[in-house]
Amino acid sequence: MAAKFTHIDLGHADYKEVWDLQTKTHLEKQNGRTDDIIYTVEHNHVYTLGKSGSRDHILLSEAEMAAKGISYYEIDRGGDITYHGPGQLVVYPIINLNNYYKDTHRYLRDLEEVVIKTLAELGITSTRDEEFTGVWVGEEKICAIGIKVSRWITMHGIAFNVNTELEYFNKIIPCGIFHKGVTSIKKELNKEADMNEVKKIILKNFEAVFGN
């Protein structure tokens, strides 16, 4: 049976505004006042640093970031430094794992599975890496994953490179990984992807994977 989520597409939105929205929704879920929700969004240019990350993995000063119109936030998810921006599909599931399973490791693997299934439908073969969380095409990461789980309710989620401007990754060490690259659906297929179609496929796969 497929799981059911309320999907809210936020279009293009500032990172901090959506982070605040996630926090508000997370609190509402703790009090049982909202359904399981999946937010989808494309952010303005921003670098975010997770709790286990290092500021040294950003190769720009704050002044240089400001000059380029890139925001910067140190946030409450796991993981290291990553980039969000136009052309990247960011998916934030705010779900109560008490209704599924109490296992953060399995949750991460399920998020990866959603993306792997979505890429397969688009004709792209992708894999996991035993050492690093995320989804990979060869030696290049196509989807970064960073989560927070509190009271078994999730926050944050996946950053899926659809038509992402990959040059923004050149100024960071993505996820703190020195020896691997990044890619996107656009790069792999050598053409622009239909973002709305990708959203439809990924939401379908969320319902399928979490319905098992």
Identify the DSSP state of 163. S
User: What length is written for the chain?
Assistant: 212
Number of Cβ within 10 Å of residue 124's Cβ equals 16
- The question of whether 143 is a catalytic residue gets the answer no
Decide: 107 and 97 in contact? Cβ < 8 Å. yes
Longest dimension (CA), the chain: 51
Q: What are the phi and psi torsion angles at 37 (to 5°)?
A: -125, 140
Question: How far is the C-alpha of 22 from the C-alpha of 155, rounded, in Å?
Answer: 7
Question: Considering 70, 153, 175, 198, which one is annotated as catalytic?
Answer: 175
Whether the Cβ atoms of residue 39 and residue 91 lie closer than 8 Å to each other = yes
Distances (CA, A) of 109 to 30, 47, 58, 134, 138: 24, 24, 27, 9, 18
Helices (H), 31-146: 62-67, 104-121
Q: Are 194 and 102 in contact (CB under 8 A)?
A: no
Catalytic residues: 175
